[in-house]
Amino acid sequence: MKKRTIQKAFQKNLQRIQTAKDSLTDLTSDEIQKAFQKNLQRIQTAKDSLTDLTSDEILLIDAANPNTPPEILEALSFNKDNRVRNTVASNFFTPLKVLIALANDSEKTVKAAVAENPNTTTEILKILVDNSGSFIKGLVARHSNCSREMLRKLSKSPEGNILISVAQNVNTDIDILRKLSKNTDVEIQDDIQKELAQNTSTPEDILEKLADSSDFFIQLKLVGNPNCSVKVLKKLSQCNSRYIKSRVDERIKKINDSKKEKV
């Protein structure tokens, strides 16, 4: 394909992408924005190597384009190139019926893309849990649409990466979070505690115990947790890190100022 033809095709797609980007400005979902930025990075990579674009790379641009018509995305989902199917699976605007088909793809990377797509439903996540290994299950356990029932099932897994992901999910039941907080496996204990420290569903008594930790990253995640009470923050202020102490002081000041405003 001639360079001029490729450039025209790219510019046409870029205009469609910009239109879609403008339509996302009113959306507040961080997941949607991240999904769009991820696809935009793929397209930028293609743009940087414009002179070397092949027909397959043009397909990748279409697969990543949030404004590509649903029927085109469906057609691309059957492409023999794993990269194309992977990119379709990452596209937030890919139709659910296409995501269902890709959840049954033979390639793990394609399934992983489905598991990380913020538009993937609970039903599709269940398909992934039923037909995938520990890596994909770990991604599923992090998804905001992963149900409480599914998380309870995944919490029984012996795989560390899955348990860490369950500890991170705000949908996880409190009794499961309590159980995870008592995990003594030295290989995953620290990672579980870091996830619990930042999880807004973690109960205060667990946060208070975590405040005794000397781990800087656990302390950092605690001070960033909006549900961390003044009691826990004051306990955290007894740590040796001047940075953490300053962050704690800022948090307590904001909490006190907020209370004054409500009076």
Name the residue ranges covered by the structural domains of the chain. 1-115, 121-201, 203-263
Alpha-carbon distance 247 to 253, whole Å? 10
pTM: 0.78
Q: Measure the CA–CA gap between 99 and 70, rounded to whole angstroms.
A: 12
pLDDT score of 44:
58
Q: What is the pLDDT of residues 141-164, one digit of tens each?
A: 999 999 999 999 999 999 999 999
Which CA distances in Å does 239 have to 37, 51, 68, 175, 235? Answer: 37, 56, 52, 28, 8
pLDDT of the residue at 183: 95
Question: pLDDT for 228-262, tens place per residue?
Answer: 999 999 999 999 999 999 999 999 998 888 887 77
The pLDDT of residue 4 is: 52
pLDDT of residue 60: 86
**65-94 pLDDT tens trace:** 888 999 999 999 999 999 999 999 999 999
Dmax (CA) for the chain in angstroms is 69
Distance, in Å, from the CA atom of 73 to the CA atom of 89, rounded to the nearest integer, reads: 9
**9-18, 103-112, 133-142: segment of lowest average pLDDT:** 9-18
